[in-house]
Amino acid sequence: MSRAVIEIAEPVERVQAHAKDTAIRSIRATIVEAPTRRRHKLSNTEVTHQGYVLVRVLLDNGVTGIGEASTLGGPRWAEESVESIKAAVTNYLAPALLGQPALAFEAHALRMSKAATRNFAAKGAIESALLDAAGKTLGLPASALLGGAVRERMEVIWALASGDSGQEVEEAKEKLRRREHRQFKIKFGFNRPQADLKRLQALRAGLGDDVRLIVDVNQGWTEAECIRFMPALEELDVALIEQPVSALQLEAMARVAARTSIPLLVDEAAFTKEDIARAGAMGCGSVYSLKLVKSGGLFEMKRAAAVAAAHGFELYGGCLLESSIGAAAHLAAFATLPRLEWGTEHFGPRILVEDLVVNPIRFDEFEICAPDGPGLGVEVDEDKIRAFARKD
């Protein structure tokens, strides 16, 4: 080995040894409520403030990592709320990890699974914070610890969810003019199907035939409504339909998927790898939405992607209106996937009045750019955290 190689290798080995021996000293959780630029409506709720739990992991070497758990209007989209996430982190998950080696990621996941069932958002936030701390310690981006990036940029989708077609047309045109987004997801389910269809017709007429439109029903239709109204979505050249029926009705979703020429995006119907395999075997759709809140960790989300791909699903990078902190964690994993056919919808940082970091994630030419700094590659804005933190 040459002298130059030895000189490089020795510091690297020292850093790696130091990181391996570094233990988890503390884990703290803070509830944050950040205002959004406009109302964001879903079939069962709407939000004007986005709730997060920020998790800080402090290692014995003095390095702090940050992670984020996101919810939508409380325990409505899934069973977790910011209150339950904070309680799970503080009372069950943190005690299971304190004193453990920082880089033992798979062991951490096993310990957390024994400490609490499901609680996926809480677990995902902790693992993200650990990857952030480990990456900072080693001087590596989190994507390197997840297998290495194969892409740096991803096409990014914007959601239209105010319910006002005129406002939404102008919003979408401004995104196109600024070359920020050229694919739009339309939130359905908070109006009667006929009203939603009129809104979609106005959007198609206002934006033209070249713009790709995705419809997210958020479990808001029955199978009968799908049979009645999906032909109209086909006529409007909708590219993708997300979770049209209840997540509990897998058989109905499979029948709907068999009747329409539009691919169905499986979201709430499949959280775990076992859920994904069942949905794939039943033919519930042909695209799967990846979300940290469903997988409970970045490593597990990569395994979910592999199971989905093995069952013939194309992959879609889903979001839950994360800030740049949560988006950075997702992008670290998405950057390493061999396939990501539908890009991602991580527009969350841009729907906030003020992001939670000093260096917001960069959007450029219709794409979102994965941060390349150590760890998650973002720096928390402590003033914003203090301003938006819930006063308990």
- pLDDT at position 189, please? 85
Residue whose tokens read 């880089």: 103
Active-site entry in 68, 155, 322, 345? 345
Do residues 64 and 99 make contact, with C-beta atoms less than 8 angstroms apart? Answer: no
Confidence of residue 12 (pLDDT cuts 50, 70, 90): low
Residue by residue, what is the 3-state secondary structure of 231-249? HHHHHCCCCEEECCCCCCC
What's the pLDDT tens digit per position in 348-374? 999 999 999 999 999 999 999 999 999
Name which residue leads in pLDDT, 273 or 47.
273
- pLDDT at position 85, please? 98
Beta bridge partners of residue 374, listed in sequence order:
none
Residue whose tokens read 């070497």: 61
Is 187 annotated in the active site?
yes
> What is the helix, strand, coil percentage profile of the chain, to 5?
45, 20, 35
Locate 260 and state its tokens.
């329409």
Is 345 annotated in the active site?
yes
Do residues 317 and 342 make contact, with C-beta atoms less than 8 angstroms apart? Answer: yes
Residues in CB range of 209: below 8 A, 6 or more apart: 237
The pTM score is: 0.93
Helix and strand counts by DSSP (H, E) for the chain: 16, 13
Whether the pLDDT of residue 260 is over 70: the answer is: yes
The sheet carrying 153-155 orders its strands as 153-155, 367-369, 363-364
Locate 25 and state its tokens.
């000293």
Which domains does the chain carry? 3-141 (3.30.390.10), 145-380 (3.20.20.120)
- How many other CB atoms are there within 10 angstroms of residue 105's CB atom? 18
Confidence of residue 3 (pLDDT cuts 50, 70, 90): very low
Whether the pLDDT of residue 375 is over 90: the answer is: yes
Whether the pLDDT of residue 6 is over 50: the answer is: no
What's the pLDDT tens digit per position in 267-294? 999 999 999 999 999 999 999 999 999 9
Active-site entry in 187, 291, 294, 384? 187
